[in-house]
């Protein structure tokens, strides 16, 4: 197959970027042709270049809404797709999903959108959520299939009539495995707590700090991995709470797997989510997880077995769960091992790859049965080929 992945930004690396990178590497290794289209150049395109993944930076594709630039981005993307002539386009992130679907549709190229969490999920400000629900309903008309990364997001999209059930499928994210040396000794003392999250509106570092500030009688250190516009506010809060000497701001890091392996507890305290990849990374590293009970978090964390789920912005509930794990090395080790087993059973990358490629083939097969909708600049009336082997 000849596949084009499209993602909005290159100036950061988030879960959607890692997804695109991992899929690109796996499909290239199988002999498929892959090209990534990304808005601008930056950290992500550097990562693609480091892995020898073909990519095209798009000058006009950007995250913010700008009518003129968005029209230019559509024209630029359409011209790029017409030149590459892919069998399939796979779009990721909201803006790339919108423009990418329209561009591919205009060329009669099969196109799929993978939603890495909806921008209208519970916890998102109401006005913003209404706008994104409308935008996703409109964009769905141009796509062949929408993949959600958890069952919660599929149900949410159906609830708000974003797409029909026939167009929607849930495929859980998966993660490539790591060496045993990158698995944690969760029972080790004194325990280190780690949270991997950008400092922005979506994440709730403040609740995490307030919970830990009530546990200064216990031994703990907190590592915060990530950067973002709210980092200064969180640093000031740590100082106000008197825990600045225990909280370490590590910034954006490439060695997250190593940091997790040196930790004993993973937390992800947020206002909203899709299906967080960072939780899977923690389970892979044999860490017990405490996460906010939002969206698909409950599909990865098994309450009371691999960790705990706590209500949004509930300092007392989080403090109680942290106290339990900080004070019980055997419980940390048992939950970490249970999480590792759950990762191996449900969230290995190969499983996600297999199910997703099956969706690709279903879409191509459906188009091949209807040549009138499967034509493009590759040749009028010609159905797209389906590669049964790379």
385 is a domain residue: no
208 and 154 within one domain: no
**Which residue range forms the structural domain that includes residue 144?**
2-174+349-373
353 and 273 within one domain: no
pLDDT at 350: 96
288 and 209 within one domain: yes
295 and 267 within one domain: yes
334 and 222 within one domain: yes
128 and 200 within one domain: no
**Mean pLDDT, each 10-residue run in order, the chain (390 residues):** 96 92 97 97 96 97 90 98 98 95 97 94 88 93 96 95 95 96 97 96 97 98 96 98 98 95 98 93 98 94 98 98 98 98 97 97 90 42 34
pLDDT at 372: 53
Query: Which H/E stretch holds residue 88?
Result: strand 88-92
CA–CA gap between residue 105 and residue 286 (Å, rounded)? 43
Angle (nearest 5°) at CA 184 between 181 and 190: 130
Question: DSSP letters of 216-234?
Answer: TTS--EEEEEB--TTHHHH
242 and 336 within one domain: yes
59 is a domain residue: yes
pLDDT at 46: 97
229 is a domain residue: yes
pLDDT at 64: 87
378 is a domain residue: no
Burial grade of 145 (CB within 10 A; 0-12, 13-18, 19 or more): buried
pLDDT at 371: 57
pLDDT at 122: 84
CA–CA gap between residue 117 and residue 318 (Å, rounded)? 24
257 and 189 within one domain: yes
Which CATH number do you get for residue 109?
A: 3.40.50.2000
59 and 44 within one domain: yes
196 and 248 within one domain: yes
Q: Residue 166 CB: number of other CB atoms within 10 A? A: 7
65 is a domain residue: yes
| pTM of the entire predicted model | 0.88
- How many domains does one find in the chain? 2
CA–CA gap between residue 327 and residue 265 (Å, rounded)? 12
Q: Is 235 helix (H, G, I), strand (E, B) or coil?
A: helix
353 and 342 within one domain: no
259 and 119 within one domain: no
Q: Which of 307, 297, 293 is nearest to 341 (CA)?
A: 307
CA–CA gap between residue 196 and residue 62 (Å, rounded)? 25
pLDDT at 376: 39
């Amino acid at each position: 197959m000849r596949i084009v992945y499209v993602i909005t930004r290159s100036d950061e690396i988030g879960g959607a970027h890692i997804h695109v990178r991992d899929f690109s590497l796996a499909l290239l290794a199988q002999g498929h042709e892959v090209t990534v289209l990304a808005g601008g150049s930056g950290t992500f395109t550097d990562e693609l270049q480091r892995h020898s993944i073909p990519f095209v930076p798009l000058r006009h594709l950007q995250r913010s809404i700008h009518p003129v630039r968005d029209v230019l981005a559509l024209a630029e993307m359409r011209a790029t797709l017409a030149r590459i002539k892919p069998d399939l386009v796979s779009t990721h992130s909201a803006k790339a999903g919108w423009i990418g679907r329209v561009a591919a549709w205009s060329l009669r190229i099969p196109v799929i959108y993978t939603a890495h969490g909806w921008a209208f999920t519970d916890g998102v400000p109401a006005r913003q959520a209404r706008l994104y629900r409308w935008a996703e309903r409109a964009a769905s008309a141009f796509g062949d299939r929408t993949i959600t990364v958890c069952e919660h997001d599929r149900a949410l999209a159906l609830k708000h009539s974003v797409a029909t059930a026939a167009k929607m499928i849930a495929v859980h994210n998966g993660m490539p495995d790591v060496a045993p040396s990158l698995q944690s000794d969760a029972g080790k003392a004194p325990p280190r707590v780690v949270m991997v999250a950008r400092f922005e509106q979506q994440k709730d570092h403040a609740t995490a700090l307030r919970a830990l500030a009530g546990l200064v009688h216990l031994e703990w250190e907190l590592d915060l991995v990530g950067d973002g516009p709210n980092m200064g506010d969180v640093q000031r809060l740590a100082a106000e709470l008197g825990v600045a000497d225990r909280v370490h701001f590590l910034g954006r890091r490439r060695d997250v797997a190593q940091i997790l392996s040196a930790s004993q507890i993973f937390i992800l305290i947020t206002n909203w989510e899709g299906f967080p990849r960072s939780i899977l990374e923690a389970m892979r590293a044999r860490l017990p997880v405490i996460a906010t009970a939002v969206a698909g978090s409950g599909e990865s964390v098994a309450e009371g077995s691999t960790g705990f789920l706590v209500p949004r912005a509930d300092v007392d509930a989080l403090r109680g769960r942290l106290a339990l794990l900080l004070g019980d090395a055997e419980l940390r080790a048992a939950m970490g091992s249970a999480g590792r087993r759950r990762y191996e059973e449900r969230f290995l990358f190969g499983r996600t790859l297999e199910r997703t490629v099956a969706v690709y083939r279903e879409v191509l097969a459906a188009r091949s049965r209807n040549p009138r909708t499967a034509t493009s600049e590759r040749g009028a009336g010609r159905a797209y080929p389906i590669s049964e082997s790379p």
